[in-house]
Amino acid sequence: MNPVSSFAATRRQVLIGAGAGLVAPGIIATPLPAAAQAPQGAVIDITRARTDPIPVAIPDLAGAGDAARIGRDIARVIQANLRNSGLFRPVDRQAFIQTPDSAAQTPRFQDWRVIGAQALVTGRVEQRGDGLRVEFRLWDVLPETQLQGTAFNAPAANWRRIAHLISDVIYERLLGEKGYFDTRVVYVSETGPRDRRTRRLAIMDQDGENHRFLTDGRFAALTPRFHPSAERIAFMSYQDRGQPRVVLFDINSGSQQVLGNFPGMTLSPRFAPDGRSVVLSATRGGDANIFVVDLASRRERQLTSGGGLDVSPCFSPDGTQIVFNSDRGGDQQLYVMDAGGGGVRRISFGNGRYATPVWSPRGDLIAFTRFGRGSFAIGVMKPDGSGERILSEGWAMEGPTFAPNGRVLMFYRESRATNSRGAGYSSRIVSIDIAGFNERPIPTPTDASDPAWSPLLS
Amino acid sequence: MTTRLLGAIAALGLLAACSNTDQNAATAGAGANTIRPGSQEDLVANVGDRVFFDFDSSQVRADQRPVLQRQAEWMGRYPTVQVQVEGHADERGTREYNLALGQRRANSARDVLVASGVAGARITTISYGKDRPAALGSDESAWAQNRRAVTVVQ
């Protein structure tokens, strides 16, 4: 069909590979012919981007009638994504010289260079019945080359999804690592007074849009986590009069199923990276130990034993190790063991207690909560416990979750009650770059806790 | 559900039969019209429904043990009463660990009840971690009230 661009052979095979491909249900991506020659790979050094966000111009995508409105909306979503990452600086639209319509035809690079844009995003939207065709091109302004050209065909209702896919392509082409914009977040929505909270699962796009509730709040829901397919969730549910249990939840059908056959409470579930098992903690009497439950056979295997509280297990991305939280040594610390339960070693040795370890999808870091009675902090360390860095500190915060590229964390922050009636208390989700900058709130309609970031949806 | 209801009715009948204990006399003095002997209200008003724990500890403190012993005696008086012991934690910890800690506290309180003569089958336990505080402040006095195990008549 379309001739293949010479820059199309990148990591994101499906999206920008040799031919047209389905990148998500209902969204087909096709490479566009290149208008000029460009170098392979990333053009910007990511280490430099930290202190110096890349200036990028994102004029509205061109279009006629309704398509013009959609083109504007798509451009605004891309702009917000890139700005919120902290690694890009969208150029002020007031400064634009060339009109979007004209730029979509042929960029006049001089017009973009003089206003300081290093990269330029152009495109057009056409309506075709109930569907959309969205063309987008990414330009490197200084050498005047096209870095990327892709056309998306999709139902009109998917326009926001297309904007996220485009954002991810821009991120990947300019920074040399995958983006995280075509993702969702599941979290616990909290309403009502703190002693009688209603806690419901809710799901939203990573930017807070397309928000909806997954459970009705009759029974409290806590600690949701995504299956690697992003179509299932494991969470802890307070069921009618029974023990709290880890439950598997199908996002599309809404069906729920108790996992395992344990005598006590089950809590803190996480899926294995291959999606075939769940590691969790189960109590018996006053103890809590870690088990892995095979999802096909439902067979349980006990990984830890003894008198301590072993909770919050999380697999390494290669599935060979598990990090967890235990008070076996006296107070809460982090331990790593082999996935079979052997070779346990403590990795946290700083001041305070450590909890909620979560392994980066890149494998290079473990994020955690560290706390004393005066303050809480979110930090990262290497899997051997070295190189500990605190990213954020405050009255109360916990529960970090990694973006699929390992570059950004979300967690939740609580404010201190200012009187005995609990005035001033709140709980909100925030995100932060793992370098410790760009902490920003994630908008939610209610108080929020326990965020879990999905893998890339495509 | 039905068996529980029948149990409650049986308990009512029972306490009509033994309403001349000191405890019930005290109840009568405190407004017998509203407090039904053998009920949660009775437990709260005349026995004490909760014990408190030290920070990050699930050991029943010596000064709290008598409360559980009185609860055991009270349960001896109302043999059809079933209870659930709820374990709780203060807000100065993480959610998942506090769920396990609350369970361990509930279990410690349960063990004292059993050691004091209550049949284990009459007691269930549950943990709410830090998620259902009794006191809503963010200070030491609120935290001390929230590190607790509460006995709840089912």
What's the burial of A439, exposed, middle or buried (CB within 10 Å: 0-12/13-18/19+)? middle
Q: What is the pLDDT of residue B63?
A: 97
Chain A residues 171-200 with CB within 8 Å of chain B:
193-197, 199
pLDDT reported for residue A38: 46
CA pair distance A222, A215, nearest whole angstrom? 11
Using the Cβ of B93 and the Cβ atoms of chain A, whether some distance falls under 8 Å is answered with yes
As given in the structure block, the two tokens for residue B36 are 């039904």
Beta bridge partners, A359, equal A366
Q: What DSSP character marks residue A192?
A: S
Strand partners, A235: A247
Distance CA B86, CA B109 (A): 9
CA angle A58, A64, A67 (to 5 degrees): 65
The band of A285, judged by pLDDT with boundaries at 50, 70 and 90, is confident
Pairwise CA distance, residues A133 & A113, whole Å: 29
Segment A250-279, tens digit of pLDDT = 999 999 999 988 999 999 999 999 999 999
- Note the residue count of chain A: 458
* Containing structural domain, residue B142: 2-153
Nearest CA in chain A to B56: A331
In A, residues 12-71, which contact B (CB 8 Å cutoff)? none
Q: Which of B15, B16, B22, B118 is nearest to B71 (CA)?
A: B118
Tell me the nearest-neighbour CA distance from A236 into chain B, angstroms.
Answer: 10
Q: What is the mean pLDDT of residues A232-237?
A: 97
Q: What is the mean pLDDT, run by run of 10 residues, along chain B of 154 residues? A: 43 41 44 82 97 96 98 97 98 97 98 98 97 96 98 97
In contact, B49 and B111? CB cutoff 8 Å: no
For chain B, give the number of residues: 154
Q: Assign A424 a pLDDT band (cuts: 50, 70, 90).
A: very high
Nearest-CA distance from B96 to chain A in Å?
Answer: 6
Q: A417 and B137: CB-CB below 8 Å?
A: yes
Which two tokens mark A275? Answer: 């999606």
CA distance B12 to chain A (A): 23
Examine the pLDDT at A457 and tell me if it is beyond 50.
Answer: yes
Domain count, chain B: 1
A447-453 and A440-441: which strand pairing?
unpaired
Q: For residue A76, name the pLDDT band (cuts at 50, 70, 90).
A: very high
Q: Are A298 and A260 in contact (CB under 8 A)?
A: yes
Q: Distance between alpha carbon A442 and the CA centroid of its chain, in Å?
A: 12
With CB atoms and an 8 Å threshold, state whether B138 touches A312.
no
Q: Specify the residue for token string 């549910």.
A: A237
In this prediction, residue A20 carries a pLDDT of 66
Q: Is the pLDDT of residue A6 over 60?
A: no
Domains of chain A: 13-175 (3.40.50.10070), 184-453 (2.120.10.30)
Amino acid at A369: T
- Would you state the structure tokens that stand for residue A119, as one six-digit string? 């990269």
The C-alpha atoms of residue A226 and residue A361 are separated, in whole angstroms, by 13
Candidates A243, A325, A331; nearest CB to B56: A331
Decide if A395 and B55 are in contact by the 8 Å CB cutoff. no
Which residue from B93, B134, B138 is facing A417, i.e. has the nearest CB? B138
- Mean pLDDT along residues A274-293: 96
Q: The domain spanning residue B67 has which CATH number?
A: 3.30.1330.60
pTM for the model stands at 0.89
ipTM, two decimals, is 0.90
Q: Do A396 and B135 touch (CB under 8 A)?
A: no
Residue B126 contacts A, CB cutoff 8 Å: yes
